[in-house]
Amino acid sequence: MINSKLIIYSCLILTLSVAFGQSKKDFSWPNGAKAAVCLTYDDGLPSHIKTVVPALKKYNFKGTFYPTLASSSIYEDMDKWKALANNGHELGNHTVYHPCQKSAAGMDWVKPYHDLDNYTLDQISEEIKLANTMLMAIDGEKDRTFAYPCAHHIASGKSYRPFVASQFLSARDSSEAREALLELLDIDLNKVPSWAPNGHNAEALIGYIQNIIENETFSTFTFHGIGAEYLSVSKEDHEKMLKFLDANRDKIWVATFKQTTDYLASYKNSFPKKRE
């Protein structure tokens, strides 16, 4: 005798699979694009004001900036950072002092008093709250996204991801490795993957974008210095990437991290919680 519960379960799985397949086929980003990408810039560097903002303006793109609020550029170029926000770019929370785990590989540069291994959960929480207050003084916004400094989230052996999830609309991780792209429903908005293309050329940047388009998904770039400072990508390679994005607006939507994750959240919320 055929198990009736098994039949019902199988029908349910088939129904959900068909619905997902149809919805995925019908889904599109704004302007009919089949993929999306965010351009994010970390640490509040002078090249962001001098090079990135004019380049984004030239191609009419909006970026997301995650400044470390102790950065000298925030103090020296405060009017320009305010103008950046007023012109539609996003300012996200990247803490005040950019604490990272000194115990991790390659983290010898981390100062002992900014060592996340020595932070308590209360300390990192208070620093993040302070950063929110400082950012609100710059752009007047309360709803915000977060980017983990060094992609680290362990303070004194405990994860502060739950606190971030309680305070922010979405949060971005980062990796210098090109990790496999995820399907839209598999992207956790509390730890969105991002590629940090430190030292890579335009061919690599464009290749990554083409991969996003081919997979009809969403991903982000984590940039630091552009033509200057550290972990940099050249000004010329950065502009070639922007030129490629400009020529492919019908295929890929370029928007701020908040805009993109808000849009994706609405899509994900229309599905059962089976893949969360």
Q: What is this structure's pTM?
A: 0.90
In degrees and rounded to multiples of 5, residue 189 shows phi and psi of: -70, -10
Q: What Cα–Cα distance (Å) separates residue 132 from each residue in 68, 106, 229?
A: 11, 29, 25
Contacts of 85 (CB under 8 A, 6+ apart): 91, 138, 139, 141
Encode the chain (276 residues) as per-residue pLDDT tens digits: 445 444 444 443 444 444 444 455 568 899 999 999 999 999 999 999 999 999 999 999 999 999 999 999 999 999 999 999 999 999 999 999 999 999 999 999 999 999 999 999 999 999 999 999 999 999 999 999 999 999 999 999 999 999 999 999 999 999 999 999 999 999 999 999 999 999 999 999 999 999 999 999 999 999 999 999 999 999 999 999 999 999 999 999 999 999 999 999 998 887 766 544
In degrees and rounded to multiples of 5, residue 268 shows phi and psi of: -65, -35
Pairing of strands 64-66, 35-42: parallel
Distance of alpha carbon 119 from alpha carbon 81, whole angstroms: 29
Domain ranges of the chain: 48-275
Distance of alpha carbon 276 from alpha carbon 271, whole angstroms: 10
HEC-encoded secondary structure of the chain: CCCHHHHHHHHHHHHHHHHHHHHHHHCCCHHHCCEEEEEEEECCCHHHHHHHHHHHHHHCCCCEEECCCCCHHHHHCHHHHHHHHHCCCEECECCCCCCECCCCCCCCCCCHHHEHHHCCHHHHHHHHHHHHHHHHHHHCCCCCCEECHHHCCEECCEECHHHHHHHCCCEECCECCCCCCCCHHHCCCCCECCECCCCCCHHHHHHHHHHHHHCCCEEEEEECCECCCCCCECHHHHHHHHHHHHHCCCCEEECCHHHHHHHHHHHHCCCCHHHC
> What pLDDT, in 10s, does the model give residues 15-66?
444 444 445 556 889 999 999 999 999 999 999 999 999 999 999 999 999 9
> What pLDDT, in 10s, does the model give residues 186-215?
999 999 999 999 999 999 999 999 999 999
- CB neighbours of residue 258 within 10 Å: 20
Question: What pLDDT was estimated at residue 270?
Answer: 79
Which CATH number, 1.20.140.10, 2.60.120.580, 3.20.20.370, 3.40.50.1110, labels domain 48-275? 3.20.20.370
